[in-house]
Amino acid sequence: MGLLTNKFQEDNVIVEKLEKLLNWSRSTSPWFFQFGTACCAIEMMAAAAPRHDIKRIGFIPRSSPRQADVMIVAGTVTMKMAIRVKKLYEQMADPKYVVAMGSCATSGGPYWQHGYHVLKGVDIVIPVDVYVPGCPPRPESLIEGLLKLEEQILEDRPLTRKMT
């Protein structure tokens, strides 16, 4: 709360940008769409378990893509699955973000050289915001990635007119 209390030094009224309110609300409660495909999914479940808890930073798991903000792609994405990944990404409601968890989602993982059916990185089909490397990344790594995503959301400009 440091941001706000500092401003109350001289006056009783503070003026802030609406963007900051919107960004704050989106960054504080990013509901994630659990899209675990392979071994990284186990680490994602471990991150949601009591020991390292991602609920305390606001990430609540939802199972329907329409109600989620963030899609955590955890695990290997094959060509067969890539089409579904794209479909689910398009079903998410704006504003949406993607976290590529693990080396398979980042760049094909251990299958980068000979995997003929593996998608070499999920950013070939959907735009990714945060890459979390590791095979699989420990829950602490995933939490660091998610916190970076929250910082990124705080710097978003939703109400500014975008240049086309």
Partner 1 sequence: MSADKEKLIAELVNKGLDGDMDSVNACEDKIIRGKAKAMIMKVKKGTIERPPKPELAANEKIDSKTPESLSKDEMISYLVNKGLDGDMDTVNVCEDKIVRGKAKAMIMKVKKGTLERPEMPILDSPVSSGEPLEDNTQDDDKDTFQKIKKLIYDKFPNSIIENEEGDYIQIKPDEWNELAVWLKSEPSLLFDSLQCQMGIDIGDDNLESRYNLHSMELDHYIEIRIAVPRSDPKIPSVEQVWRIADWFERETYDMLGIEYTGHRDLRRILLPDDWEGWPLRKDYQVQETYHGIVVPKMKEGWE
Partner 2 sequence: MTVDFIFDGLNQLFPEFAGNDIFLIIAMLLPVAALLGFITVYGFGVIYSEIKVSSFIQDKTGPMGQGPGLHAGKWGLLQPVADGIKLFIKEDIIPASADKPLFILAPFLIFIGALTSFIAVPFGEKIIITDMNIGIFYIIGVGSLAVIALILAGWSSNNKWALFGGMRSAAQIISYEIPAGISLVVVIMIASSLNMQEIIAYQAGGLFNWIIFDNPFMPIVFIIFFISVLAETNRTPFDLPESESELVAGFVTEYSGTRYAIFFLSEYANMFVVSAVAATAFLGGWQSPFSNFLNSPAWGVFWMMSKTFFLIFVMIWVRWTVPRLRVDQLMHLCWKVFIPIGLFNVFAVAIWIVVRGS
127-156 binders of partner 2 (CB under 8 A)? 147, 150-151, 154
Query: Out of partner 1, partner 2, none, which partner does residue 141 contact, by CB within 5 to 8 A per kind?
Result: none
Query: Out of partner 2, partner 1, none, which partner does residue 9 contact, by CB within 5 to 8 A per kind?
Result: none
Binding mask 96-135 for partner 1 (x = CB under 8 A): -----------xx---xx--xx-xxx--xx----------
Nearest to 139 by CA among 42, 64, 61: 42
Query: Out of partner 1, partner 2, none, which partner does residue 2 contact, by CB within 5 to 8 A per kind?
Result: partner 2
Phi and psi torsions of 54, nearest 5° = -95, 0
Nearest to 97 by CA among 123, 122, 126, 70: 70
| Minimum distance from residue 38 beta carbon to partner 2 (Å) | 19
Q: Which helix (H) or strand (E) holds 3?
A: helix 2-5
Binding mask 111-130 for partner 2 (x = CB under 8 A): --------------------
34-93 binders of partner 2 (CB under 8 A)? 50, 53, 55-58, 60-64, 66-67, 69, 91, 93
Nearest to 99 by CA among 21, 23, 40: 40
Phi and psi torsions of 146, nearest 5° = -70, -35
Strand ordering across the sheet containing 61-62: 61-62, 32-36, 70-74, 97-101, 130-132
Cα separation, 105 vs 128, in Å, equals 10
Is omega for the bond preceding 95 within 30 degrees of 0, making it cis? yes
Enumerate binding residues for partner 2 (CB under 8 A).
1-4, 21-22, 24-29, 50, 53, 55-58, 60-64, 66-67, 69, 91, 93-95, 147, 150-151, 154
Enumerate binding residues for partner 1 (CB under 8 A).
79-80, 82-83, 107-108, 112-113, 116-117, 119-121, 124-125
